[in-house]
Amino acid sequence: MFPSKALLFILLVALSSVDASPLRREDGRVTLSFAARVNARGAVNVAAADRARAQAMKQAGSKGKRTGKSSFSITNSVVSYTAQVGVGSPATEYTLIIDTGSSNTWVGADTPYNPTSTSVDTGNTVDVSYGSGSFSGEEYTDKVTLSSGLVIATQSIGVASQATGFDGVDGILGVGPTDLTEGTVSSVDEVPTVIDNLYSQGHIGTSALGIYFVPASAPNSAGELTFGGHDSSKITSPVTYVPRTTTSPASNYWGIDQSIAYGHSTILSETAGIVDTGTTLVLIASDAFSQYQTATGATMDETTGLLTISSDQYAKLQSLTFKIGGKAYVLTPNAQIWPRSLNSDVGGSSDSIYLIVSDLGSDSGSGLDFINGYAFLQRYYSVFDTTNSQIGFATTSDTDAVCN
């Protein structure tokens, strides 16, 4: 987490407490609802925060498997998603960041870990660096309670003896690919993730996670996590899956291959990138970003780091089309703009129009040429399927909504 005291957390998404979390079971799936709120703490350059995360992920991924010493920031200064998770018996409740870009689950950054009758010290150490934050300590196994009706009997848990960069939270609930844990815990190759154990202990029928977000500016914005698949009531099309990319470094994360077109012109030929809940914007390679800026006529706002356009330019804005596995996923003009109700929260002008497409910070051809972040995921339902090594997308009632 970026350490500046003036950082802004927008859309701080918190699951309800362990005792009160809405829980729904159906056909080997478990669904938990969460709510969204705005928690503004000051202005920050949104694009710079995302870009720092992206470059650190690229650097770490280019070295192959995670070593425990070189990784990336698990959250940025704009968007954070947290779950109230109980550990032990009786359980101590911790506020953990939900992250698809990392896979270790750990506690102790703020609230101390309290060993109970279910706590087992494995004798192994854990050490993970997240770019601008890090933690190290002992690795335990313990009982983990995600909701009153969803309990993992034995889960590998890092217990921090030191942690930096995690003000206001207790640690991480890692839901990325399992191999991201490689090299982070002594004496073992990998440690099972929360998703792995929900599957192996019979709570879910497949090792997959479905994520649904409502656009931030929508009234009573909310969303949900579905462990074990997807929630058919939240989608308006079948889920279409594509395999994880084999191109490094994107292949180390939830990576896919896609191309991007603005209007009728391709601005990014098919290449590899990642899907990431911890990134706020849609980041694209610098050469593609330059084409997008020229085509839209946008200018750079130095305060927010976002492109800005006039009302006349917005009226002429064309669709941005992501072609993934032969299927087109379109961001309408309205889906390409930052929620206007939140302009002042990022230090922008209340009457300005900002775009959610930003510069990745490097040209295409690097093996990680885009990140489909929250701005994309709030328009399309996503499924991260470990069992079949694939990622799926579906439309929702918000895909074409005019809400920004």
Examine the residue annotation and report whether 398 is marked as an active-site residue of this protein. Answer: no
Which one from 276, 301, 345, 398 is the annotated catalytic residue? 276
Alpha carbons within 13 A on the beta-carbon side of 102: 33
**Burial bucket for residue 218 (CB in 10 Å: 0-12, 13-18, 19+):** middle
Contact 88, 119 (CB under 8 A): yes
Cis amide leading into 3 (omega within 30) = no
Nearest-CA neighbor of 24 among 232, 235, 241, 238? 232
Which one from 50, 99, 127, 257 is the annotated catalytic residue? 99
Nearest-CA neighbor of 227 among 24, 77, 20? 24
Quote the strand ranges of 276-401, DSSP E.
282-284, 299-300, 307-309, 320-324, 327-331, 353-354, 357-359, 370-372, 380-385, 390-395
Total count of residues recorded for the chain: 404
Contact 165, 136 (CB under 8 A): no
CA distances from 312 to 267, 297, 315, 356 (A): 23, 10, 5, 18
Q: How many angstroms from the chain centroid is the CA of residue 399? A: 19
Examine the residue annotation and report whether 369 is marked as an active-site residue of this protein. Answer: no
Amino acid at 350: S
Please list the alpha-helical segments (H only) found in 240-362: 286-296, 311-315
Contact 71, 102 (CB under 8 A): yes
Task: Look up residue 48 and give its DSSP letter.
Answer: H
Q: Which residues are part of the catalytic machinery?
A: 99, 276
